[in-house]
Structure 1
């Protein structure tokens, strides 16, 4: 293993001209390029892993002299396993293939004839390397960050897994990714991110994304792909980018698995188990997890109302908490008919229960200092939701070399129900309230996808696909007020709502990729036909919306060395209105700050461009870039206020959003494997401008995150994570910066079959989300602060035999 890693590192570091000048070669004059071309031919091939012939990324291929094994020439395979060795003199050679985690392969009698200019070696199969230690597989980890032509691949190593219970914990450790106060992912500090799971929309697993991410166990995840300028292959939605969460597949022989138990303060506990088994052509994987969670918060809001002649002031102060528990189960089977045909089927089930409460004091003061209105608003809510998802995937490799057809399908159905009880206390009878809100939601969706990959030449690939996604959502919100005379609840038709929503998306895309020794190009176009049917049942109003959109993408890379490259990317994105943004239901849970949907929303189109450099090797690297995002029809939340001091918030198309700046991510191993660090940082300008809404906010900002993993004596490892999202311009104001710090320590036990870890999240209780809004009609400052830090102890046990996949330690 160490020898393979050393060879990989040497091949990445040594320039080509030094490789050519190694002992045993027949040197040519440095300036005699024509002579080199005349005497040299090319070797091409592809490194694959058996039995499914999956490409092995970044394997080192060395061409040796048979007599003394001296190095003649070499190359590093690309992310698909394809390699090219140029300028090879005619003769008989020994080929050596090395890669971390695989057995070294030697192929003798590689003969290049004098009259031949090209020798195609075809697919070369390497076998995974495993060392058995008390029936636990121990392997080297992959490089954490791999920079592809249109995305960054973040491999999930054992250090990240040891300090993460679920996918939400993992995402916070991924460069350029953060979570907002509600647990929704952000890229470069901005929302509107499309989250995929194995290339499929995450809403197939449920309607509430933060709950999905919290319920998905971390040890099921193999890698996370982050695309800030996605190619046309991916969904055109998501103005900020796309995150694709790739789960582990069954690539084992025999059986392995693990169990995990986490006990934390404030009833934040989790347990999970997973099992993988494969024998012959049949494979099985299953997992089960459960979690309880609890979070407390405090909130303040201070607002001056300028609508009336005499200024009034609203002050809100309160506390609250959220509790919940969820369960997630997954079963998948796969069968390899032969080396060209395989099928996989699976089912996922999740269930979530939530309990929320709040206690908010509201006081309105006139300019004279007299309190004109005072009441306390108490809210107790509970909700239940479940989701069932079926998937069926089929892969076919044609007789022609590397032609491949993938078919994916998913069907999801689920529902949720909830009830909220509001009690409004005051010394003034007219302000007394008792209300209840009963909710019910039913949804189902179908996803179909077919992709065809055609390697036109060893270095040119055409990929085309068609996709269809349809969903239906029926939402009932019934609101009741207590009649104090009869002591019964009566239905309020004015703020109740029955809302039906359907959408259907039909997409076709095509991408073309071309690579040479130095250049790489990928161009694509996605055409999407999008249809929305909106039925405001309670108001007897319905209408349909149809959008036809084109999403082009282009990326070009220039290789500067074996591991370094420059790249330029462009992508057009579209953010279509979501069902909740369109639903005109009025949420009056906070009667001084009501919310509603806007059925007149139009899509937002964003142009994204990025130019960057990357250099990632086994011990680390970095990837600086310049980026720019521009949209001229941005969807954002707008708040207006009436004479009574009540604000109304809804989504609207406001105008222009523009951001540009410098960003870099990096990873590095120091002092051997004693210290590993990775992170990202950016400095950028954000602008929100709308003449219609009278908005002109522009500001410079900076953000960044850092992860550190330190090896200590006696098999202890410590970790630390810090993230800072700097202030930025938002519609009607600014949002302050947010700082978060976590830490942990772990120890391997039982001959590395088990791990125990201690983790603390939000060490300094610094999850403060502050914003200031300033318009001609009001001025507002608000703060939401999480008031409980999370402390937990986690024990993980692993078992298993020979494995052909990465360690999930």
Structure 2
């Protein structure tokens, strides 16, 4: 890994050096061709506050053309209120001065003569607002949904933040996105979603995605990009799409921050704080959050076994409790070397722990109702882990603001370990067991990325990049059985495993975008060389897998008006097997339903197409679309059963999987009273495999809606409803799932603070039911969380800022 990483770093450095020379060459060429040069005048002055004539720091000074008030150029005052705006072309102008907490100031009749080199405007006096606000001011929110050429951008407003403690809570409010029973994101009701944070893989922050999302504070998030047909710029993985979570990077001058504390029922509490400070060219930011959660669940399963000589029935019922704690901290610094170059460094650290307890009753009965086997299985387990991530970002801007070069390096390392104890009690002596399981996992990851964006013309842009990624994962599972005669635990090599995993990914991509007044086009191609090294150390089985994949993408748009457009998107996706899916370790924590990895998995390729219309304005809009996803080697869970009635679940390439239908998202503000957003879809899902004897096809419908209502006395209420309809899965169907949440909030202390009350899963309806039917068995199962979450949250914002930004 070290040798490959060093070589990759050299390649990235070589590319950066080459790309630096490209704009320099073009600049030199332009200098040779230059015929006419018109020197501009320089405007200088000072913005002061009345009374007192104190300099106003970081005020925005705009130079407007007199005839039509269009923006010509501008600048920002320094710490003393002084500004200097170079290269102002000859003409007549209006000066506009703006700054938070001050009345807008206009200075008309500014005449820059052809022969002028310097024009001193002297002191420009601005007046404070009637009540000058030194604290954070929340300005008007952006349009919630913005439809870009290949993605939907969901801006996170203050209403969503007030009713969300973490990123998991936010994702449930994003159109077309939902969470499964384990807290993993889904797009259009389907998993296999790539989740990025600021364009980087989320597992750089840890190995367990639900824990990452629950520990990431909501108030650090600026927007969420949802890509159902991603361009070649993004990771080729993720059969369902890509979700990119963008954190706030507003360059605030001065100090700004916030504190948040939430108290919940059943000892589910959280607290977080963030602080940003910027002066001159240097900015610092830090955040810290902690959370405790206490979840209760129940599980039921009934399965008829047809493969044995005599049909038997297995019934399982049980309850469990999961207690978790996690903490997340990040610190970063950014430095503007000059107007064209900037660097950012940061470190993230996460820590988590879990405590689980479950009690499961197992009964096997004969056709006449006689119970042939019965035992209780009590399990107690603990798990702890941590993850440390270092990142470095460099950005180079050229003369055109869209002409830039980015380089990113991330290094992550983490560790997790756990212990499980199983006590199986029965009147049948052969069913009595006492077992122990000890787990340890060590992982490392290195991520290198170089992107270059070149505006060839004002309407054509070329973007190229290379990415390298290296992962190592060492996993040890040791299982022990109690020898009741000897009175000690004996190692069981049959269900223990030492698993070593490495992968190296080398990717190059190119996208070309062309825009006219009415048409837009983005074509992309991504080439990935993927290498896996799988080492089942326990049995000395070591083998390598190599994949070379090409992922094309195409997006076309046609403007119909100022805010409306038609678009047609296509993307080919690849879902490569994850390490856990390949690990052949057999999990026997439930001895009647065991699980194991499949080292023979092959990648899944999915074709995704979408044709849609969108019309979004500040007051709202909608975006209906027709979509189709098709895969002919889908990776999915397959369950088989033996004559003893024990099922084995593995991932496998089963055959054809398809989904197609109609979807729309929408948002609408009705005056200042009501704001609504949501999405809905009607679709057909099909899973077909001749080899696995699977043929499931069904029509379904799903949707979610968020409503925010303004009430008297600075109260606002919110409601969230989500329904994921029944759909076809491998070997059967899954029932629909309904979720209802609500909240109410009130602004305090001149809107610097907010107190909110939220209830999740009001009707305890978050129940996941599935029905499997094959030639060898028939199974019905239920998994449900049995406690609604109730939270009382207080949030306080503080700081003195001199730049706009929504920091609700």
Q: TM-score, normalised by structure 2?
A: 0.85
Structure 1 residues 399, 560: CA separation in 2 closer, same or farther (over 3 Å shift)? closer
More deviation, 99-108/551-560:
99-108
Q: 1:105 to 1:659 in 2, by over 3 A?
A: farther
1:99–1:678 Cα change, 3 Å: farther
- Given that 1:725 and 1:739 are in contact with CA atoms closer than 8 Å, whether structure 2 keeps it comes out as yes
Deviation at 1:101, TM superposition (A): 9.8
SS in 1 for 2:633: strand
User: Is residue 456 of structure 2 the alignment partner of residue 435 of structure 1?
Assistant: no
Give 1:369 deviation, angstroms.
1.8
Distance (Å, rounded) in 2 between the aligned partners of 1:519 and 1:399: 26
What is the CA-CA distance between 1:802 and the residue it aligns to?
1.8
Stretch moving more, 195-204 or 798-807: 798-807
Answer whether contact 1:451 1:466 (CA < 8 A) is retained.
yes
CA distance in structure 1 between the partners assigned to 2:239 and 2:802 by the alignment: 39
> What do residues 315-352 of structure 1 show as CA deviations (whole Å, max 9, x unaligned)?
00100011100000000000001110000000000000
Quote the residue 1:498 is aligned against: 498
Counterparts of 1:452 and 1:694, CA distance in 2: 49
Cross-structure match for 1:665: 665
Change over 3 Å in CA distance of 1:429–1:404 after alignment to 2? same
- Structure 2 contact 250–805 (Cα < 8 Å) conserved: no
> CA–CA distance in 2 between the matches of 1:488 and 1:255?
61
1:598-617 to 2 correspondences below 5 Å: 598-617=598-617
Q: What's the offset of the Cα at 1:397?
A: 1.5
Question: After the TM superposition, which residues 22-421 of structure 1 pair with which residues of structure 2 at under 5 Å, given as runs?
Answer: 66=67, 133-399=133-399, 402-421=402-421
Q: What is the distance in 2 between the residues matched to 1:665 and 1:110?
A: 48
Q: 1:241 to 1:106 in 2, by over 3 A?
A: farther
Whole-Å separation in 1 of the counterparts to 2:507 and 2:761:
42
Deviation at 1:64, TM superposition (A): 8.6
CA pair 407-365 structure 1, distance change in 2 beyond 3 A = same
1:701-780 equivalent positions in 2, closer than 5 A: 701-780=700-779
- Secondary structure, in 3 states, of the residue corresponding to 1:494? helix
Distance 1:97 1:458 in 2: 27
Shift of 1:400: 6.2
Task: Call closer, same or farther: CA 1:643–1:284 in 2, change over 3 Å.
Answer: same
Q: What is the CA distance between 1:170 and its match in structure 2? A: 0.3
Q: How far apart in 1 are the matches of 2:155 and 2:472? A: 35
CA distance in 2, matches of 1:808, 1:719: 19
The 1:455–1:95 alpha-carbon spacing in structure 2 relative to 1, beyond 3 Å, is: farther
Partners of 2:93 and 2:655 in 1: how far apart?
63
Contact 2:353–2:385 (CA under 8 A) maintained in structure 1: yes
CA-to-aligned-CA distance 1:722-776 (integer Å, 9 cap, x gap): 0000000000000000000000000001111110000000000001000000000
CA contact (8 A) 2:95 2:110 kept: no
Label 1:629 to 1:709 Cα distance change in 2 as closer, same or farther (>3 A). same
- Indicate how the Cα distance of structure 1 residues 98 and 569 shifts in structure 2: closer, same or farther if over 3 A, else same: farther
Equivalent residue, structure 2, for 1:58: none
User: What is the alpha-carbon root mean square deviation over aligned residues?
Assistant: 2.5
Q: Distance in 2 between matches of 1:173 and 1:473?
A: 34
Q: What's the offset of the Cα at 1:357?
A: 1.1
- 2:795 counterpart residue number: 796
Worse-matched range after superposition: 299-308 or 133-142:
133-142
Contact 1:267 1:294 in 2 (8 A): yes
CA distance in 2, matches of 1:602, 1:176: 28
2: CA distance, partners of 1:610 / 1:749: 45
**Counterparts of 2:275 and 2:391 in 1: how far apart (Å)?**
19
| Superposed displacement of residue 107, structure 1 | 11
Contact 1:683 1:700 in 2 (8 A): yes
Distance 1:62 1:191, change over 3 A: farther
CA separation in 1, counterparts of 2:595 and 2:660? 31
In the alignment, which residue of structure 1 is the partner of 2:687? Answer: 688
Query: Deviation digits for residues 593-618 of structure 1, max 9, x if unmatched?
Result: 00000000000000000000000001
Q: Secondary structure of 2:655's partner? A: strand
Say which SS state the counterpart of residue 210 (structure 2) adopts.
helix
Residues 470-619 of structure 1 mapped to structure 2, 5 A cutoff:
470-619=470-619
Paired residue total: 712
Distance across 2 between alignment mates of 1:349 and 1:674: 41
Q: What is the deviation of 1:690?
A: 0.3
**Length-normalised TM-score, structure 1:** 0.85
SS of aligned partner of 2:300: strand
SS in structure 1 of the partner of residue 378 of structure 2: strand
SS at match of 1:554: strand
Give the Cα–Cα distance (whole angstroms) in 2 for the partners of residues 529 and 371 of structure 1: 55
**CA-to-partner distance for each residue in 1:274-305, whole Å, 9 max, x for gaps?**
00000000000000000000110111000000
Distance in 2 (CA, whole Å) between partners of 1:506 and 1:152 is 28
Cα distance, 1:135 vs structure 2: 1.3
Paired residues for 1:605-684 under 5 Å: 605-670=605-670, 672-684=671-683
Please tell me whether the aligned partners of residues 250 and 285 of structure 1 are also in contact (alpha carbons under 8 angstroms).
no
| Residues in 1 aligned to 2:443 and 2:639: alpha-carbon distance in whole angstroms | 30
**Shift of residue 368 of structure 1?**
2.3
Q: Which runs of 5+ in 1 are unaligned?
A: 1-60, 75-90, 112-128
Q: Distance in 2 between matches of 1:792 and 1:489?
A: 44
CA contact (8 A) 2:224 2:246 kept: yes
Please state whether the residue corresponding to 2:581 is helix, strand or coil: helix
Distance 1:728 1:149 in 2: 29
Give the structure 2 partner of residue 807 of structure 1. 806
* Structure 2 residue runs without a partner (length 5+): 1-61, 73-89, 112-127
Structure 2 distance, partners of 1:100, 1:422, is 65
Instruction: Give the distance between the partners of 1:224 and 1:93, measured in 2 at CA.
Output: 43
Work out the CA distance in 2 between the residues paired with 1:784 and 1:504.
Answer: 37
**1:67-124, Cα deviation, whole Å (9 max, x unpaired):** xx6x9999xxxxxxxxxxxxxxxx999899999999989999999xxxxxxxxxxxxx
CA contact (8 A) 1:666 1:680 kept: yes
Question: In structure 2, how many angstroms separate the alpha carbons of the residues matched to 1:101 and 1:678?
Answer: 30
C-alpha separation between the residues in 1 aligned to 2:93 and 2:461? 29
SS of the residue corresponding to residue 315 of structure 1 reads: strand
| Whole-angstrom CA distance in 2 between matches of 1:547 and 1:110 | 65
Contact 1:661 1:682 in 2 (8 A): yes
Q: Alpha carbons of 1:527 and 1:108: their partners in 2 closer, same or farther (altered >3 Å)?
A: farther
User: d(CA) in 2 for partners of 1:289 and 1:160?
Assistant: 19
